[in-house]
Structure 1
Amino acid sequence: MRFATWEADGQVRSGVVSTRHDGTAGLHELPARTTVLDLVRAGLPAALEAGTAALAGPAVPVGSVRLLPPLAAPTVRDFVAFEEHVEGMVAPSGEPVAPEWYQAPTFYFTNPYALIGAFDDVAVPPGSRRFDFELEVAVVVGSVDGVAGASLTPAAAREHVFGYTVLNDWSARDLQFREMAVKLGPAKGKDSATTLGPWLVTADELEPYRDDEGFLALDMRVSVNGVEVGQDLLSNMGWPFEELIAYASRGTEVRAGDVLGSGTCGNGGCLAELWGRRGEQTPPPLRPGDVVEMTVEGIGTIRNRVVEGLELPPVRPARPRPRTRKRTA
């Protein structure tokens, strides 16, 4: 089943997605202002029951509304789970992938306030001249019998998988690399926008794609202005999603509605990987007017147009370091 959130006539609504006879999608509203996050917190069995009931109601064409992110995620973690992506990112240094990458999944927290819809415009972050995309799939954590997960085993974490959506982790590479040179971040380099969409596909729908090793073998593709620049399989991840959830929950909690990104896929999942391998910025950084389209098999397509961002004054550099130890009179 597929759940979506949309805006129409100034009102935000949530519901279930159906496929119409002509192949287009229809949206069936959930009752009593129920949100997708409400369903995720209720758990997958209850959500499927509510969705089945909603399908009996009338549908509006998906093309007549503005799709929003499928849910209001309380937190967003983004992992770096594709070895091939990491290889491309470190290629300019000539160094191999850090051995620490293989020891455990690594993630950072990104901005839940910056989530945008599947077809929204995305603005270039202030001060950035190397704007980039990242093709990912995100898992959405659900509850089990209304209980959050803490220090989960991978087997238990799999029971907490509610569903999946496409994620584009927009990246200001110049800001990101400056921050990470300080051994912190990324922060403002990843702070401006993250696309989620077009909807949230429940875990049961994607089980037929699971391979013998437990990974979801979904085809992933990204194009810029109609030209394909990247293609990979989700099953090339170093860890399956249940291990990412289990790691995130170690010594703490993951709660229903939390979003965990897979990290960028390989083979052109972002421009920076291609720049690293080719030794030049080909294709060039994104510019206003560029259209980035991502399609993940079994989930759907997101498409965002890059637009001009705000022009803000430059950031003031740090003052000279006085190193004063005592107050002066």
Structure 2
Amino acid sequence: MKIGRIIRQSPDGPVPRLVSVHPDTNTVLDLAAAERRRLIERGASHRMATRLATAQFPGSLTEALETGTAFTDAVTRLHQQCDLLDGIALTDVNWLPPVDPPVLRDFNAFKNHEVNAPDVWFEVPLFFKINPSTVIGTGGLVTWPVGCEHLDYELELGLVVGTHSSNLTPETAHRALFGVTVFNDFSARNLLRYEMDGRLGPAKGKDFCTAIGPWVVTLDELDLSDLAMSATINGEQWSAGNSGSLVWSIGEILAYASRSEPLVPGEVIGTGTVAGGSGWELGRRLAPGDVVQLDINGIGSLVNTVGDPEPARWNPQPRDRSSAR
């Protein structure tokens, strides 16, 4: 099952819609629209069919996942009862991020990405949290943040949480996972290094933009231990890796994230960057106008264009250290 989110026009303006994606027919199925047609064919009024279909398939994947298995059961029923050829052509849709995450975390779980990291990186699967309000989908424009001199991409696998869970073990963690997507944790390297000197963060070096997409693929369609991963910039391949090179397993990542705090439906967790999966490791930098494409076999392609640098409208002025005493 592949689930995405698109923008569709309505009498009230553009609205987000959940879709199932069918690459074999190059179409997507608007789930709420298909459910509305199904209900009307079975005698429901137009008003009630619209209300029920929207409740079953809201424009938010997070809200849909909060209904538990009712969501996936309803998608399966639609696939059995609807003609998928009635869908919308893939080339005619405007994509949103497939998930509207209430929480966004990123780990550092792959081999060799941090070969000179301190011992703690190898003692526990560390992570940081990112601003979920700056998530973009495939086709979205990447913000070039104020003060950035070195913009970089990061090739990662994104884990999409499906159920409310806490205190998982690596053996039970699979029950919390709905599916996976492509995850690009854009970084402003010079801001990141500067902030981390203060033993806080990362903040402005990370929070400006994270791309996820193009859609979420459920676990029954994939072998997460062997997914080819690659990054191309303006059509030139820069990075290649494999999901099987994790130091910390996906079960361990989820178990650690859930320790003494909940994982919630719609939460997205990055695995961290596959070895060689960033320009920083290759001595290369992104530039305004670059087209960044991340591919993970079995999932899809996440494509974004880098925007122009944003101008500074204010800069903090350093304080005299003595004034803090």
TM-score bucket (shorter structure): 0.7 to 0.9
Matched residues in 2 for 1:198 and 1:228: separation?
19
The residue aligned with 1:165 is: 181
1:59 equivalenced with 2:63 (yes/no): no
TM-score (norm 1): 0.85
Separation of aligned partners in 2, 1:295 and 1:223: 8
Q: How much does 1:324 deviate?
A: 7.1
3-state SS of paired residue (2:70)? helix
Q: In 1, are the aligned partners of 2:19 and 2:28 still within 8 Å (CA)? A: no
Partner of residue 200 from structure 1, selected from 183, 195, 216: 216
CA distance in 2, matches of 1:85, 1:233: 13
Residues in 2 aligned to 1:164 and 1:217: alpha-carbon distance in whole angstroms: 13
Distance in 2 (alpha carbons) for counterparts of 1:256 and 1:122: 26
Please give the secondary structure, in 2, of the residue aligned with 1:188: coil
1:134 to 151, 154, 164: 154
Q: Deviations over 1:210-237 (max 9, x none)?
A: 5xxxxx2100000111110100001101
Aligned partners of 1:129 and 1:41: how far apart in 2?
A: 41
Alpha-carbon shift at residue 257 of structure 1 (Å): 1.3
Structure 2 regions of 5+ residues with no counterpart? 36-52
The 1-side partners of 2:182 and 2:301 are apart by 8
Matching residue within 118, 138, 142 for 1:118: 138
Matched length: 294
Equivalent positions of 1:77-96 (< 5 A) are 77-87=105-115, 96=116
Runs (4+) off by over 4 Å: none
Q: In the TM superposition, what whole-angstrom CA distance separates every residue of 1:35-56 from its partner, at most 9, and x where no partner exists?
A: 322332233x433322123331
Residue 248 of structure 2 aligns to a residue in which SS? coil
Q: Deviations over 1:159-185 (max 9, x none)?
A: 111100000011111111100111111
Asked if structure 2 preserves the Cα contact closer than 8 Å seen for 1:15 and 1:54, the reply is no
Using structure 2 for the length normalisation, give the TM-score: 0.86
Aligned to 1:97: 117
Q: Secondary structure at 1:293's aligned position in 2? A: strand
1:71 equivalent in alignment to 2:71: no
| 1:173-207: CA deviation from partner (whole Å, max 9, x where unpaired) | 1111100111111110011111110001111111x
Please give the per-residue CA displacement for 1:18-69, whole angstroms capped at 9, x wherever unaligned. 1344xx23233234222322332233x4333221233315311122121101
Structure 1 gaps, min length 5: 88-95, 211-215, 276-282
- Mapped pair 1:41 → 2:69: no
* TM-superposed deviation, 1:253: 1.1
SS at match of 2:274: coil
- After superposition, the CA RMSD in angstroms is 1.7
Query: What percent identity do the matched residue pairs reach?
Result: 35
